[in-house]
C-alpha cells in the first residue's frame, strides 16, 4: 500500500471515528508508553520540522495512532501541526486533511510552504483554488510563507493585505517583480528568493527598494549577477538600520568595472557605520582561477562594525585591510573564519592580537597550503612572562594546511588553552600522532585529525 493510501486511511479514522485509538490496549505497560512527555514532544517536533513532511503523507497522523499517550501529546500541542507543506496538484484529495491540520494547529502561528507542481494549464483550477482559498482564510496566522514551483497563473490567492504577522517570505523568481505585494506586511524582516540577483535574496535591476519595508529587515543577502548591475539597484545600507546579518556573494569575472563594489553601498567616503551588525559573510562567486577582486580589500576599509561577533571571509582579503578593519571596529569578535586566504603566520598573529574574545578560529587555505610553524602555536600557549593571545578559544580548525613542525602544537594542546578546546580539526604528519595526548583535554567533545603519509604527503582521516 503506497503512502497516499495509508495517509488517506489514517485521515478517515481521524475525521470519522471521533479520534478513537486504533490500539486494543492503549494503556499497556510497553517501553513506548514510558517515554517522558517532554522527550516525546522533542521527537514529534523533529518529525514536524518545516519541509520534512507534506500534508497527505501522514507523519503526524501515524504518530497519533501509536497509543493514547502519544495521541494526547500530539493533540495537546498545536505547534506540532502548524508547520507543513501543501503540494498543489490536479485534485483536492488533500483538502480535508489540510482542514484537519489547520483545526489542530488552533491559533498557533503557521509556517507554510505551498508548492505548485505544474503550470496553470496543467492545474485543476477549481481544485487548486479550493485549497488556496482555505489557506487564505488563515493568512492572518502566517508567520512564514514559502511559495515554490510554478506560480505563473496563481495570483496570490487573495492574501494581499492580509499578512499582519508574516515575518519570513520566500518567493519564486517569477513573482519577485510584484512590488505591490509588500505594501502591507508590517512585520516582514526576511525576504528570500532562489535567484542570483541582488537579493533579500534576489531582485532584478528594476526593483524599487523603497517599496520594501527595509527599516525592519534584519537579514540581508546581496548576490548581484554582475557588478555592472549594482548601481542601477540604488541599494543604500542606510535603508536598513536594524540589519544584524549580512551576506555578500560577489561575482569575480567582471570586477574590473572600477568602483562597482563600493557603489553598492552608495559611498566612497569615510567608514560606513553598521552599528547592529553581528554577523558578516563575504564570498566570491566563481572558480579561483577567474578571481579578480582588487576592490574587495578596499571594501572593508569603508566599514566600521562595533557589534560584529562573527566574520566569515572566502577568497579574501589582504591581511592589511582585514587588520585595519578589525582595529577600527574594535569589536568583540568571537568567530573568525578565513577560507582560501593564504594568510601567513605572522599576519595571522597580528590579527589575533586584536581578538582577545575569540572562541572559534577556522583557517581553510584550500589548495594553497601554508606552513604553520612553531611560531603560531607558541603564541597561543601561556608562556612565562607572556599572555595568551586567545584564552577563550574553544574551537580550532586548520584545514588544507601542512604542519611541518609540531612540538609547539602538542604543547598548545596540552596547555591551558588546549584544555579549554571543545573541537579540534588539524592536519598532522604521522610522526606527531603518537605524541598527541587527548586525555588531558577534558572539554573536548569532537576531534578530527588528518594524518599525512610520509611517502606521498597525502592525508587520510584518522
Query: How does pLDDT run along the chain (462 residues), one tens digit per residue?
Result: 444 554 555 555 554 444 444 444 555 444 555 677 777 777 777 776 655 545 545 677 778 887 888 888 888 888 888 888 887 765 556 778 888 889 999 999 999 988 876 555 445 566 677 888 888 899 999 998 888 776 654 566 777 778 888 888 777 655 544 545 555 677 776 666 553 333 443 343 334 444 555 666 777 777 665 555 554 445 567 777 888 888 877 666 544 444 555 555 544 455 678 888 999 888 776 655 444 444 556 667 778 889 999 998 876 567 788 888 888 888 889 999 887 666 776 777 788 888 889 988 887 765 444 555 555 665 665 444 555 667 778 888 776 555 544 555 666 666 666 667 777 776 655 555 555 666 666 666 666 665 554 444 433 333
Q: Residue 103 carries which DSSP code?
A: H
Residue 95's region, left for phi above 0, alpha for psi from -120 to 50, else beta, is alpha
Position 303 scores a pLDDT of 80
The domain ranges of the chain are 334-462
Contact 283, 250 (CB under 8 A): yes
Beta bridge partners of 279: 245, 310
Beta bridge partners of 191: 169
* Residue 19, all three cell numbers: 479520534
**Phi, psi angles (nearest 5°) of residue 16:** -120, -10
Give SS3 for 203.
strand
Distance in angstroms between the alpha carbons of the first and the last residue of the chain: 45
Alpha helices per DSSP H over 166-238: 230-233
Q: What is the dihedral of CA 245, 249, 254, 260, to 10 degrees?
A: -10
Angle at 285 between CA 261 and CA 458, to 5 degrees: 130
| Cβ within 8 Å of residue 219, ≥6 positions away | 189, 190, 243, 244, 245
Contact 384, 408 (CB under 8 A): no
Helix axes 3-16, 95-104, angle to 10 degrees: 60
Give SS3 for 372.
coil
Q: Per the omega criterion (within 30 degrees of 0), is the bond before 317 cis?
A: yes
Q: Residue 181 carries which DSSP code?
A: G
Position 41 scores a pLDDT of 77
Beta bridge partners of 284: 250
Give SS3 for 417.
helix
| Cβ within 8 Å of residue 103, ≥6 positions away | none
Could you report the per-residue pLDDT of 267-292, keeping only the tens digit for each?
Answer: 445 567 888 899 988 877 665 544 44
Cα 179 to chain centroid, rounded: 26
Element (H, E) at 7: helix 3-16
Model confidence pTM above 0.85: no
Beta bridge partners of 451: 428, 460
| Cβ within 8 Å of residue 68, ≥6 positions away | 21, 23, 26, 27
**Phi, psi angles (nearest 5°) of residue 111:** -115, 110
Could you report the per-residue pLDDT of 348-384, keeping only the tens digit for each?
Answer: 778 888 888 998 888 776 544 455 555 566 566 544 4
Contact 66, 35 (CB under 8 A): no
Q: How far apart are CA 11 and CA 19, in angstroms?
A: 10
Q: Where are any strands of DSSP class E within 94-158?
A: 110-116, 142-149
Cα 196 to chain centroid, rounded: 17
Amino acid at each position: 500500500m503506497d503512502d497516499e493510501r495509508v495517509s488517506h486511511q489514517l485521515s478517515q479514522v481521524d475525521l470519522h471515528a471521533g479520534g478513537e485509538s486504533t490500539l486494543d490496549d492503549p494503556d499497556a505497560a510497553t517501553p513506548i508508553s514510558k517515554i517522558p512527555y517532554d522527550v516525546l514532544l522533542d521527537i514529534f517536533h523533529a518529525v514536524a520540522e518545516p519541509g520534512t513532511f507534506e500534508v497527505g503523507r501522514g507523519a503526524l497522523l501515524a504518530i497519533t495512532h501509536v497509543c493514547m499517550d502519544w495521541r494526547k501529546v500530539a493533540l495537546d500541542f498545536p505547534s506540532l501541526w502548524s508547520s507543513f507543506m501543501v503540494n498543489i496538484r490536479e485534485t483536492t484529495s488533500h483538502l480535508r486533511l489540510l482542514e484537519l491540520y489547520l483545526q489542530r494547529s488552533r491559533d498557533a502561528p503557521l509556517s507554510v510552504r505551498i508548492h505548485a507542481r505544474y503550470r496553470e494549464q496543467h492545474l485543476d483550477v477549481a481544485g487548486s483554488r479550493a485549497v488556496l482559498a482555505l489557506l487564505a482564510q488563515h493568512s492572518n496566522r502566517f508567520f512564514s510563507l514559502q511559495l515554490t514551483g510554478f506560480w505563473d497563473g496563481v495570483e496570490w490567492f487573495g492574501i494581499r493585505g492580509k499578512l499582519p504577522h508574516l515575518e519570513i517570505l520566500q518567493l519564486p523568481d517569477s513573482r519577485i517583480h510584484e512590488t505591490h505585494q509588500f505594501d502591507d506586511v508590517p512585520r516582514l524582516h526576511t525576504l528570500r528568493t532562489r535567484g542570483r540577483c541582488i537579493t533579500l535574496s534576489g531582485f532584478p535591476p528594476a526593483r524599487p527598494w523603497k517599496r520594501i519595508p527595509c527599516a525592519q529587515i534584519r537579514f540581508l543577502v546581496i548576490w548581484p549577477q554582475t557588478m555592472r548591475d549594482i548601481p542601477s539597484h540604488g541599494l543604500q545600507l542606510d535603508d536598513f538600520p536594524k540589519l544584524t546579518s549580512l551576506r555578500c556573494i560577489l561575482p569575480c569575472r567582471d570586477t574590473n568595472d572600477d568602483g562597482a563594489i563600493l557603489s553598492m553601498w552608495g559611498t566612497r567616503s569615510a567608514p560606513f557605520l553598521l552599528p547592529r551588525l553581528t554577523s558578516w559573510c563575504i564570498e566570491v562567486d566563481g572558480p579561483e582561477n577567474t578571481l579578480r577582486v582588487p576592490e574587495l580589500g578596499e571594501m572593508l576599509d569603508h566599514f566600521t562594525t562595533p557589534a560584529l561577533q562573527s566574520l566569515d571571509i572566502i577568497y579574501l582579503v589582504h591581511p592589511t585591510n582585514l587588520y585595519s578593519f578589525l582595529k577600527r571596529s574594535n569589536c568583540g569578535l568571537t568567530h573568525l573564519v578565513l577560507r582560501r586566504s593564504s594568510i601567513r603566520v605572522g599576519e595571522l598573529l597580528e590579527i589575533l592580537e586584536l581578538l582577545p574574545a575569540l572562541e572559534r578560529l577556522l583557517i581553510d587555505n584550500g589548495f594553497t597550503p601554508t606552513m604553520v610553524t612553531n611560531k603560531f602555536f607558541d603564541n597561543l600557549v601561556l608562556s612565562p612572562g607572556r599572555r595568551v593571545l586567545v584564552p577563550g578559544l574553544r574551537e580550532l580548525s586548520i584545514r588544507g594546511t601542512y604542519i611541518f613542525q609540531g612540538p609547539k602544537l602538542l604543547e598548545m594542546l596540552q596547555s591551558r588553552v588546549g584544555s579549554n578546546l571543545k573541537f579540534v580539526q588539524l592536519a598532522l604528519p604521522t610522526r606527531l600522532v603518537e605524541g598527541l595526548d587527548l586525555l588531558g583535554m577534558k572539554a573536548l567533545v569532537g576531534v578530527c585529525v588528518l594524518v599525512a603519509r610520509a611517502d606521498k604527503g597525502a592525508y587520510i582521516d584518522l
